[in-house]
Amino acid sequence: MRLPGAPAVSPDGTIAVVPVSRLEFAADSYTSQLWLVRTDGGAEPTQLTHGWHDSAPRISPDGRWLAFLRATKAVGSRAGGPKAEHDSAPQLCVMPLAGGEPRRLTDLPLGAGTPAWSPDSARLAFSARVPQDGRYGTGKTDDGETVGADGEPPRRITRYFYRVDGLGFLLDRPAHLHVADLDGTVTQLTDGELGHGDPDWSPDGRTLAFVSERHDTRGDDFASDVCVMPAGGGEIRVLTDTTYSAGLCRWAADGRSVVFTANLAGEGRVDPVIRNESLWSVPVEGGTARQLLDAEAYTLAAPGGDIAATGRGVLFTNEHRGAVQLLRVPYDGGTPEIVVDGPRQVAGFSEAADGTLVTTIAGPADWGEVYAGDTRLTGFSAGVTALEQVELTATAPDGYPVHGWVVRPAGDGPHPVLLMIHGGPFAQYGWRLFDEAQVYAGAGYAVVYGNPRGSSGYGEAHGRAVRGNVGEVSARDLLALLDAALEAGDLDGDRVGVLGGSHGGFMTTWLAGRHGDRFKAAVSERAVNAIDSFQGSSDIGWLFADSLYGANGGSFEQQSPLTYAGKIEIPVLIIHSEHDWRCPVEQAQRLFVALKRRGTPVELLLFPGEGHELSRSGRPSHRVARFDAILEWFGRHV
């Protein structure tokens, strides 16, 4: 798999730079380099950098410089040797776009964030986490040795939101704004306990816009604001009214407003679950924010969605029925123009000053390619053979349409079937090559998957329909999708397994307990099984549990799959990661013990050193071991 990321295009539109990542099995890690692509298609792409992990390319407005992030390979990352715990933190580098050696501009303890060029091409703004003294490798013993994490002082926690899965603790390493000059001078603009992220320069280069949480109840709610400050440091002004959970912000082309993505933080600022992330605009000199997109119909793609403010409107990646479109939204909030559409997903984009649009697009038969307009410029997926993704529409018992797909193995069948359920629940399966579906279909299973109510990409009402009754509403749609797929004569309805992760694991355990007669076996992965303990143990449980399961008078006990564990008769494989903070490992342990005590066939596969994202970004060796275990389980029981 070679996976191209978001491109950066030169101001004259003639070249683009794109990061391309891949799994490096010898090092049990990931590597990424930058490639140069000619937008006229007149030459083959060429590899521009040769670092271990180069990412986030940004070309300067004058077209002379390329900035990017570089992480170096960890000691021990070699074939046959032990895998070191981490590669180095990414640091900001710059090199001449015409060719030459990169220069490193930063040496920050926890690395630098994605850079943004100033309009005069002289400076770069970025956000970087700054450790408290004595933490994250900054502490020293009397002998001058670095104090390890286990030797640091205790953390005093007073707010709900103090940690996040995949990152760690937040309260002792706030994100601060920095500006780097091309000579390597780095100035930290903000300090203190508050966080600051996603900086963007005003068109005149005098002011930075960014997102921050500056209200008194920060950390006890999910609100954040769009702010501005002088580019050289100084007074911070908050532009929004702390009713939003703001994400990305960009200056409008005329410099009079800032456009930003956000969903409403909801009642008490703790009810943001299953809300579309819409596009808004707020005047810089003061005034009320205005919504530019209908929140019911449009939502920023996740993960990896982006926006860009151009002279002709705001480019916005939008989820739509499994696709990711690219829209151009007028600044006055009129009807958006669909720039890229169809059964595929826009994974990144960049527009030159002359209007040349370069995109990275993934489809059902490739991992992603780079395009200039409609012209494909790369062949990173050359040689990939994909089994066909066939669209399927079912009808739920109440007449509601349920959208999904089937990927069949080669041969005539009848094929055993796997019903695969995504996480979220406010997420979408989509029109793109998907390793999970391809692996299982390649092993001989017909894979059925889709976007029942609760999913994103079909309007906010479609998602919010499950609040307060998640299991029952989702199950009706999922079983309808399965039944529609089984109408085909080449699928074997007597040999069906079910699997999923996170919310998909929740629904897998739920279906095993409430509809176990439909399945031969289950694989429940990184699941929420018991909402009561999830509320206190998860990094987001303090708001997520009430906002999703407790909405509309919902009962934690009635909605917890663990409540129905006594009815599970089919074999269950439970997969979990030791360092999962989103759905903590106690969720797996409670289910394992409950099933083991009653004699249900159950096994627990526990991965060390991994968090919630194992199946997407865990060590390559662990991802392979996970696939092997799932295929062995279904091979044994289905």
Return the pLDDT at 147.
85
Q: Where in the chain is the domain with CATH 3.40.50.1820?
A: 389-637
Q: Is the dihedral of CA 161, 300, 478, 504 positive or negative?
A: negative
Rounded to whole angstroms, the Cα distance separating 562 from 49 reads 50
pLDDT digits (tens, 9 = 90+) for 333-352: 989 999 999 999 999 999 99
> Was domain 2-376 assigned CATH 3.10.450.50?
no
Q: How confident is the model at residue 86 (pLDDT cuts 50, 70, 90)?
A: low
**DSSP assignment of 69-123:** EEEPPPTT-STTSPPPS-PPPPEEEEEETTS---EE----TT-----EE-TTSSE
Q: Token digits for 480?
A: 């309808």
Rounded to whole angstroms, the Cα distance separating 362 from 366 reads 6
Is-contact 13 352, C-beta < 8 A? Answer: yes
Q: Which helix (H) or strand (E) holds 2?
A: strand 2-4
pLDDT digits (tens, 9 = 90+) for 199-218: 999 999 999 999 999 999 99
Rounded to whole angstroms, the Cα distance separating 8 from 447 reads 36
**Burial of 220 per CB tally in 10 Å (0-12, 13-18, 19+):** middle
pLDDT of 80 over the 50 cut: no
Q: How confident is the model at residue 76 (pLDDT cuts 50, 70, 90)?
A: low
Percent of the chain surpassing pLDDT 90: 93
pLDDT digits (tens, 9 = 90+) for 491-546: 999 999 999 999 999 999 999 999 999 999 999 999 999 999 999 999 999 999 99
pTM: 0.95
Return the pLDDT at 357.
98
pLDDT of 232 over the 80 cut: yes
Q: Token digits for 129?
A: 């986490």
Is-contact 201 119, C-beta < 8 A? Answer: yes
Return the pLDDT at 87.
83
Relative to beta strand 337-340, strand 323-329 is: antiparallel
Is-contact 493 417, C-beta < 8 A? Answer: yes
Q: How confident is the model at residue 75 (pLDDT cuts 50, 70, 90)?
A: low
Return the pLDDT at 79.
39
Q: Which helix (H) or strand (E) holds 636?
A: helix 620-637
Return the pLDDT at 140.
84
**Which of the 8 DSSP states describes residue 51?**
-
In the chain, what is the straight-line distance between the N-terminal and C-terminal CA atoms, in Å? 29
**Which of the 8 DSSP states describes residue 146?**
B
Q: How confident is the model at residue 142 (pLDDT cuts 50, 70, 90)?
A: confident
Average pLDDT, the chain: 95
Q: How confident is the model at residue 141 (pLDDT cuts 50, 70, 90)?
A: confident
pLDDT of 77 over the 80 cut: no
pLDDT digits (tens, 9 = 90+) for 531-543: 999 999 999 999 9
Percent of the chain surpassing pLDDT 70: 98
Average pLDDT of the segment spanning 485-491? 96
Q: Where in the chain is the domain with CATH 2.120.10.30?
A: 2-376
pLDDT of 82 over the 70 cut: no
Long-range contacts of 289-298 (CB under 8 A, 24+ apart): 289/239, 289/240, 289/241, 289/244, 290/333, 291/333, 292/259, 292/329, 292/330, 292/331, 292/333, 293/329, 293/333, 293/336, 295/263, 295/264, 295/460, 296/459, 296/460, 296/461, 297/459, 298/327, 298/336
Return the pLDDT at 81.
39
Q: How confident is the model at residue 614 (pLDDT cuts 50, 70, 90)?
A: very high
pLDDT digits (tens, 9 = 90+) for 414-460: 999 999 999 999 999 999 999 999 999 999 999 999 999 999 999 99
Q: Is the dihedral of CA 8, 96, 189, 170 positive or negative?
A: positive
Fold of 389-637: Rossmann fold (3.40.50)
Average pLDDT of the segment spanning 271-278? 94
